[in-house]
Chains A and B, each alone.
Chain A
Amino acid sequence: MDSNIKNLLWLQSGGCGGCTLSLVCAQSPDFLTAFEVAGINLLWHPTFSLETGREAMLVFDDILAGRTQLDILCLEGSVMMGPNGTGRFHMMAGSGEPMKDIIAKLANKAHHVVGVGSCAAFGGITSSGDNAVEACGLGFEGDIRGGLLGSDFKDKSNLPAINIPGCPVHPDWVTQTLAQLSAGDISADDLDDFGRPHAISGTLVHHGCARNEFYEYKASAKKLSQIGCMMENLGCKGTQAAGDCNIRPWNGSGSCISGGYPCIACTEPGFEEPGHPFMQTPKVAGIPIGLPTDMPKAWFVALASLSKAATPKRLQQNATADRIVSFPERKKKEGH
């Protein structure tokens, strides 16, 4: 086989399959074309491959016996450790073995290990509530290093598990990260403290938000469907959450904000337990807690009160309307 071809195995455990379904939405090009161009050979994927049952088991056996090289192992969904560390909540079909053990064995054979989506990265929504199922990520449990593979895990190229966050992931985050891995184009310096490529986490959801002008003047929506900024009242975490969701649209032209609802920071560890209702902003003395990541609070409060005082009437009116009701005024040129 062409030595430039990289073998990819995709496994699913405690998740919803939504990251795969999001990947299927990839466009320009579609994900199969993207994989082909990146020299990625799909050894097996639970959603797409012909092989079922015994045939699929042979694919795993060949990897474990060293007959097939595993260049990239992708996991989608949380690792199910429970109950009491037994992994009984997910025994791999047809094997009688806890899925967590199969993931660990294959991870030790893989040149790169990738957690696709916030479940595989950090535990995600499956670890919500009191996490009775003991769900965790490959290399993290929430924001704490560890997870299934342990805090010291390094793949064969000395990288930690790479995390493509999101609930779900944006399809391009997957295709671009896997193409970079295939090209040998990711180093430890390209990853942030949570193992996320800077290419994904270096941008905030706030960047490119169509409601930026409302944010600048703290002209806030009070109820869902109103077009003002959703940070002050409706729980929006766009100023704190990783992702280029408002620069690189979803499904053509979409994003959570353009769909009319707040960013819930699904790319961040622990997003599933915000400590408040998702669509409400918790406040102390009328000031939202959870301000922009790197902004001193006093400055934020000072700037916010200044900008609020300076809010144009147009923005005040539009912020609590469900569509633009007050249009920008254009100055007429004199003498014409």
Chain B
Amino acid sequence: MSRLIVGPFNRVEGDLEVRLDVVEGRVKSAQVVSPLYRGFETMLQGKDPHDALVIAPRICGICSISQSIAAAQALSAVQGITPLPNGKLVSNLVHATENLADHLTHFYMFFMPDFTREIYADKPWFTAIKTRFAATKGTAVAEMLPQRAEFLHIIGLLAGKWPHSLALQPGGVTRVVESHEVQHLLALLAGFRRYLQKHVFGGLLEDFSALSTLSELHQWAMETRSDFADFLQISRNLGLENIGRAGDRFLSFGAYVNVFEKGHLFARGLSENGQVALLNTGLISEDISSAWMQGDSNPRHPFEGETIPDGEMQNGYTWCKAPRLEGKPAEVGALARQVVANNPLALDMVAQNGGNVEARIVARFIEIALLIPAMEGWLVAIRPEEAFITHGEIPRQAEGAGLVEAARGALGHWLQVDDRKIKNYQIIAPTTWNFSPRDANGVAGPLEQALQGALVQSGEADPVTVQHIVRSFDPCMVCTVH
């Protein structure tokens, strides 16, 4: 048996180390290490609850809007108020903009450059892919950057800037949108749709969304010329649908609140053994057995959670706690979201091969194709003549949670207020779930499971298969520990 330590594991957001025990060219077991601790949960204690809107987004520069919306939801729960319909619409728009931009960033800047590595030099697709996707030098990133930046003008207009806005408040948003601005935003969205259809998808988004099985997807990829179709061809060639399977237990908090009815555009729930069930968030707990954390050896619900860092803990190997639902790990992210939302293509992919590297990538494109039309709908639903925000008051004592979906999965904030100040603030981020360490039962987190059996080719110090699997989760390490 040999041990490989891969780090700094880059093209993920934040700092990551992966430790691999390798036997006969396969990963026998993996440990995922989150090496940075900043202490957001303790720095929030004692502060005015609204200050969470300044501090929490700064946990993360790539999920900043998700952090804002989770904080705003926790605050609206505490205040017992509901955002106005216009506020929900703008919040959805801003959130979808961040999440779509993140999906593009992941594909073009984080994930695809790995196929330009020399280890693939003998592949028939190598030369073309290297020209297109080379890190910082490829033609695709040069084309994507201006498009992505212009798309983020939507946030510039609606929320001032990205990242780190204060526009998203418990009762709505800080800025009205007037009807001429709706027109401007529709035009921005149309421009972005054109880019997606021409280069990213190679066809109408609606045509892509109509694909409902894996075989239809592959037929589509054979007939289509686009960056995403190119990926699918590579994926066939390398068998990416057969690597990176975790426990196939998928969790979603639900994404994009419905404005005039209950629920979300992408439903909340838990998918287990191929069945979607209601999610009981009361059964979420965090286990600290393998974390550099002091405290209760019994897992705690985040309302009772505590954060006492101690780098000397004997059994610790990461700053990351291990979130569990009913004592078991769960995978979160775009694939989990689409499985829970009963998207037919996502369900078919998982039915055939379980959660895997290819399916995680495809799920992001399912979302891009579905969200652009949804955004168009939210924009025209804005009623510019009405108000965009309502105001509440912080009670003396209360507790509330904010549960949202960042690009990379379920994000929860649990806030307790005492004497009108923050008494406790606990955060479980998407990659906290996905990259969690072993719990008291020795059960590995989703990535640690997904890496078991991964191929390590002779002479590889940083196995490329491991890199594909890790990056397929689109990890955000700054959120993970916070």
The reply to whether the CB of B221 lies closer than 8 angstroms to some CB of chain A is no
Taking A18-B60, A93-B9 as contacts, is the C-beta distance between A55 and B462 under 8 angstroms?
A: yes
Interface pick from A64-72, A123-131, A191-199, A310-318: A123-131
Q: Chain A residues with Cβ under 8 A from B42's Cβ?
A: 129, 132
CB within 8 Å: A-B pair count? 266
Pick the contact of B163 from A22, A27, A264 — CB < 8 Å?
Answer: A22
User: Is there contact, CB below 8 Å, between A14 and B38?
Assistant: yes
Chain A, 316-336, CB within 8 A of any chain B CB: 322-323
Interface pick from B168-176, B207-215, B362-370: B168-176
Q: Chain A residues with Cβ under 8 A from B274's Cβ?
A: none
CA A180 to CA B62, docked complex, whole Å? 28
We find that the number of chain A residues with CB closer than 8 angstroms to chain B is: 81
The reply to whether the CB of A24 lies closer than 8 angstroms to some CB of chain B is yes
User: Is there contact, CB below 8 Å, between A252 and B145?
Assistant: no
Q: Chain A residues with Cβ under 8 A from B16's Cβ?
A: 93
The residue on A at minimum CB distance from B19 is A94
The reply to whether the CB of B389 lies closer than 8 angstroms to some CB of chain A is yes
Q: Chain A residues with Cβ under 8 A from B136's Cβ?
A: 32, 42, 45, 48-49
Q: Chain A residues with Cβ under 8 A from B15's Cβ?
A: 12, 46, 90, 92-93, 99
The residue on A at minimum CB distance from B178 is A323
CA A44 to CA B38, docked complex, whole Å? 24
Q: Mark B411-446, 1 if CB is under 8 A from A, else 0.
A: 000000000000000000000000000000000000
Most chain B CB neighbours (cut-off 10 Å) among A47, A99, A223: A47
The reply to whether the CB of B194 lies closer than 8 angstroms to some CB of chain A is no
Chain B, 133-156, CB within 8 A of any chain A CB: 134-136, 141-142, 145-146, 148-150, 152-153, 155-156
Query: Nearest Cβ in chain B — how far from A173, in angstroms?
Result: 13
User: Is there contact, CB below 8 Å, between B58 and A255?
Assistant: no
Chain A, 207-234, CB within 8 A of any chain B CB: 223-225
Q: Chain A residues with Cβ under 8 A from B461's Cβ?
A: 53-54
User: Is there contact, CB below 8 Å, between A254 and B157?
Assistant: yes
| Interface residue ranges, B against A (CB under 8 Å) | 5-11, 13-17, 33, 35-39, 42-48, 50-51, 53-55, 58-62, 64, 105, 109-110, 113-114, 116-117, 134-136, 141-142, 145-146, 148-150, 152-153, 155-167, 169, 172-176, 178, 309, 311, 387-389, 391, 461-462, 467, 478
A sample of 8 cross-chain residue pairs with beta-carbon separation below 8 angstroms, ordered by A number, consists of: A14-B36, A54-B461, A86-B311, A129-B44, A256-B165, A258-B160, A259-B160, A278-B51
Besides A13-B36, A135-B38, 9 more A-B contacts (Cβ < 8 Å) are A17-B61, A25-B162, A47-B110, A52-B11, A89-B311, A167-B58, A249-B156, A254-B156, A279-B53
